[in-house]
Amino acid sequence: MYAPPKNKRQLQTKRTLFATLIKLMETKQVSEISASEIADCSGLTPQTFYRYYDNTFHLLHCMQDDLFIGFQQQLRAVPPNIYAVTPTLIRFAEENKTLVRVSYESGKSNFIDRVIDHLYDTYRLDWERDNPHMSKESVSLLFRYIANGLTGVIRYWLMELPHLTSDDIIPYANYFIRLSTPVTPPGFMGEAHDIIQPDDAYIQKKYKEIVVPEPISEFMNADSPWLLP
């Protein structure tokens, strides 16, 4: 719980209900979990559950609100650098794997959209300032392209490749950002520069810093349309 209530009794009760629902969601769909089941598995009465929440989805929504507060807290120390934001978001998703996965599945929350909007609101002015050659519309479109691609990778990872860790996924995400925007304005990397050409030493240095995991070698085949210089 990232935003615990001040009342100690409420804190203990809500922590227990949060933990119980997360455990139940590991094996069940949210729609299959009743308030009575949550209360029973928590060692609480249904009356105690209904003192705080109307139903299971109300509890889930409150948990997602709390999760969003946690994400905001994580982001405070992260610079406007896409290669810093990426591992922060992926590791946060891993720490809250079940709840983030359900946020994608349930369709009952706009948690993912809130994350994307918050990233944009937090870093927009930095990216616009660091890319004076780009219009505001271009900065916004490029950001949405990258952010939606990144959250799409996280969704596929949590739902289809849960055996992989954040350390497995981060190099993929970094590589795909590099792949899709081979001359990305460095403002998205956290430093102000003029328009960058593909052979710019700064870009080459940035790319060399990305550790590409072995499975991505398949993209490096000479005949691949995804081959980067």
Asked whether the predicted pLDDT for residue 30 surpasses 80, the reply is yes
Give the model confidence (pLDDT) of 89-143 as tens digits: 999 999 999 999 998 886 555 788 888 888 888 888 887 887 777 788 888 888 8
Q: Architecture of domain 1-64 in CATH?
A: Orthogonal Bundle (1.10)
Q: Which is nearest to 59 in space by CA: 25, 94, 93, 97?
A: 25
Q: ∠ at Cα 30 (26, 33), nearest 5°?
A: 95
Whole-number pLDDT of residue 2: 57
What distances in angstroms separate CA 27 from CA 23, 24, 114, one per listed residue?
Answer: 8, 6, 26
- pTM given for the model: 0.75
- Is the predicted pLDDT of residue 199 greater than 70, yes or no? no
pLDDT (0 to 100) of residue 15: 92
pLDDT tens column, 44-56: 999 999 999 999 9
Contact present, 148 and 116 (Cβ < 8 Å): yes
Give the chain's end-to-end CA distance (angstroms, integer): 45
* Residue 88 CB contacts under 8 Å (≥ 6 apart), including other chains: 74, 75, 78
Q: What is the reported pLDDT for 45?
A: 95
